[in-house]
Amino acid sequence: MTSVQESRLLRACRREEVDATPVWLMRQAGRYMPEYRKLREKWGILDLIRNPELAVEVTMQPIEAFDLDAAIIFSDILPILEPMGLALSFVRGEGPHIANPVRTAADVDSLRTVPPEDGLHFTLEAIRLAKRELANRGVPLIGFSGAPYTLASYAIEGGGSRHHINAKRLMMSQPTVWGNLMSKLANAAGAYLQAQAAAGADVLQVFDSWAGELSPDDYRHYVLPHTRTTVEMARQSGVPVILFGVGTASLLELMASTGADVIGIDWRVELDEGWRRIGHDRAIQGNLDPVALFADWDAVRSRTDRILQQANRRSGHIFNLGHGILPNTPVETVKRLVDYVHEVSVR
């Protein structure tokens, strides 16, 4: 058995040669799996996250079902906001809801700083348990956090949002208040990622799902310095850091400037062009359109071939979707995709 440090994922993060391209899928533990839906009949999403045994069970479901090169701890980007003082709930069918969103300077000042060992102990415990489960498989475990902008957007909007009007208004109109909020979130995310590494996470991913809503200039001024703080804190733990965003075609150089070891891209950028812009001194993760998995196998295969051809067997490519796997994705296609990536990328 290969050690985790010599696994395909870790080797790819370090841009070392691999025997085949590593593959994992964002939200690989989720609603498209019947095993997961069965658990969700009984438990709410926050129940699963807060119970380490259940979180590990969900984490392992895709590892049992598919030949994946990484597990990712089952959690969500939003529980980090709870110990800070925000009242988070998930309304079935409607997504996350924060009852007391951040809107004023006083709201920002009142956000608490709580050590992750206290406020997010359940996920740290789940990481310790999952590492035991994964130990004899040689499969690395990914920990993760939301990036400051995406966390700020949820904290201000109080949930999902199409246009991010409240978040952007605060950012544009009250830069000092915004900076204080982002600074608190950046440090909280950084400390959380460090704690996950200390608990055993082998790789850390920073999700900036909403960064692509910003103009490059707004991203540069109001977001990048804080994302850099989070990435730098995470990298201090000595494990590789993946920085991922959606709709980031104009932000790739700025994202690379955070120092992240791997940049995750979506399908809106050609992988070869994206890699050239990020720089070949970085690893890259991506980038199949998750909707392709709803199409015929030939369509999945041709798009997978194209991505692998663009990666051109260069060291440092991690195959993934360009965003999280969608509910109702056919499980059989997922299985076939994972096997196919290994089969055709074998060195």
What residue spans of the chain are helical by DSSP H? Answer: 8-13, 34-42, 45-50, 52-65, 81-84, 105-109, 116-119, 121-135, 148-157, 165-173, 175-199, 216-222, 224-235, 252-256, 271-278, 297-311, 331-344
Nearer to a copy of itself, 166 or 180 (CB): 166
Catalytic residue among 32, 36, 154, 192: 154
Cα 198 from chain centroid (whole Å): 18
- Residue 161 CB, nearest approach to a copy of itself (Å): 10
- Distance in angstroms (rounded) separating the CA atoms of residues 259 and 182: 19
Give the Cβ contact number of residue 165 at 10 Å.
11
Judged by CB under 8 A, the stretch of 10-18, 24-32, 164-172, 330-338 that binds a copy of itself is 164-172
Give the Cβ contact number of residue 237 at 10 Å.
18
- Whether residue 149 lies in the annotated active site: no
Q: Which residues contact 296 (CB under 8 A, 6 or more apart)?
A: none
Q: Which residues contact 336 (CB under 8 A, 6 or more apart)?
A: 297, 300
Tell me if 15 contacts a copy of itself by CB under 8 A. no
- Whether residue 219 lies in the annotated active site: no
Tell me if 294 contacts a copy of itself by CB under 8 A. yes
Residues in 218-257 that interact with a copy of itself by CB under 8 A: 218, 247, 249-250
Taking residues 23 to 62 in sequence order and writing x for each that binds a copy of itself by CB under 8 A, - otherwise, the string is ----------------------------------------
Q: Which one of residues 41, 163, 281, 347 is an interface residue with a copy of itself (CB under 8 A)?
A: 163
Structure tokens at 200: 């055993």
Tell me if 125 contacts a copy of itself by CB under 8 A. no
Tell me if 290 contacts a copy of itself by CB under 8 A. yes
- Whether residue 76 lies in the annotated active site: yes
Tell me if 178 contacts a copy of itself by CB under 8 A. no
Tell me if 344 contacts a copy of itself by CB under 8 A. no
Question: HEC profile for 264-295?
Answer: ECCCCCCHHHHHHHHCCCCEEEEEECHHHHHC
Q: Which residues contact 136 (CB under 8 A, 6 or more apart)?
A: 1
Nearer to a copy of itself, 41 or 217 (CB): 217
Q: How many chain residues interact with a copy of itself (CB under 8 A)?
A: 32
Strands 283-288 and 317-321: parallel
Q: Which one of residues 74, 210, 267, 319 is an interface residue with a copy of itself (CB under 8 A)?
A: 267
Structure tokens at 148: 């400051």
Catalytic residue among 14, 40, 103, 128: 40
- Whether residue 154 lies in the annotated active site: yes
- Distance in angstroms (rounded) separating the CA atoms of residues 64 and 66: 6
Give the Cβ contact number of residue 107 at 10 Å.
18
Tell me if 212 contacts a copy of itself by CB under 8 A. yes
Tell me if 87 contacts a copy of itself by CB under 8 A. no
Structure tokens at 159: 């949930």
- Residue 45 CB, nearest approach to a copy of itself (Å): 19
Residue 4: which of 137, 143, 130, 140 has the closest Cα?
Answer: 140
Catalytic residue among 76, 218, 272, 289: 76
Tell me if 104 contacts a copy of itself by CB under 8 A. no
Catalytic residue among 8, 11, 15, 27: 27
Tell me if 272 contacts a copy of itself by CB under 8 A. no
Q: Contact at 8 Å (CB) between 288 and 321? A: yes
Structure tokens at 144: 């993760």
Tell me if 168 contacts a copy of itself by CB under 8 A. yes
- Whether residue 268 lies in the annotated active site: no
Q: Which one of residues 138, 179, 216, 330 is an interface residue with a copy of itself (CB under 8 A)?
A: 216
The footprint of a copy of itself (CB under 8 A) covers 163-165, 168-169, 172-173, 212, 214-218, 247, 249-250, 267-270, 273, 289-292, 294-296, 299, 303, 306, 326
- Positions annotated as catalytic residues are 27, 31, 40, 76, 154
